[in-house]
Amino acid sequence: MSDTSTIVEATRENFRELVAEGTVLVDVWGPDCRPCLALFPHVETLAEKYAGEIQVIKLEAPKARRLCMELSIMGMPAFLLFRDGTEIARLSDSALTPLRLNQWLDEQREGVS
């Protein structure tokens, strides 16, 4: 069994506070989104790999529809990268693979170091 303690569940109430400081990867997902569910184990691995460098949070889209509209999220899975409260990058692709997610995150990390 994997330890998901490094991943925080975001809500519309605590979202802004969670992304306010540091580098935060937001996994926007839905319980009916098969690609989202397929990526869950990989997101957990990323949270462990980047612990202390990148905070990983999950935002369940159906429970935060208004926030998703404010963030202009049009499809899932969607990954948003925040730095000190500002969105700096976004990746959304229904055919997203763990490899592509890794590549994207590495590209973004190089850009913010």
- CATH number, domain containing residue 97: 3.40.30.10
Looking at residue 61, what DSSP letter applies? Answer: G
The tally of domains found in the chain comes to: 1
Domain assignment of residue 76, yes or no: yes
Q: Which residues of the chain are under the pLDDT cut of 50? A: 1-4, 113
Predicted local confidence at residue 109, as pLDDT: 80
Domain assignment of residue 60, yes or no: yes
Beta bridge partners of 59: 10, 28
Domain assignment of residue 2, yes or no: no
Query: What's the angle, vertex CA 81, arms to CA 78 and CA 83, rounded to 5?
Result: 160
Predicted local confidence at residue 110, as pLDDT: 78
pLDDT digits (tens, 9 = 90+) for 31-44: 999 999 999 999 99
Domain assignment of residue 112, yes or no: no
Find tokens 């989202």 and name the residue: 36
Q: Are 77 and 94 in contact (CB under 8 A)?
A: yes
Q: Are 61 and 32 in contact (CB under 8 A)?
A: no
Owning domain of residue 68: 7-107
Q: Are 30 and 36 in contact (CB under 8 A)?
A: yes
Domain assignment of residue 40, yes or no: yes
Q: Are 61 and 28 in contact (CB under 8 A)?
A: yes
Q: Are 46 and 25 in contact (CB under 8 A)?
A: yes
Domain assignment of residue 113, yes or no: no
Average pLDDT over the chain reads 91
Taking phi first (over 0 means left), then psi (-120 to 50 degrees means alpha), and beta for anything else, what does residue 7 get? Answer: beta
Predicted local confidence at residue 6, as pLDDT: 80
| Amino acid identity for residue 53 in this structure | E
Predicted local confidence at residue 63, as pLDDT: 95
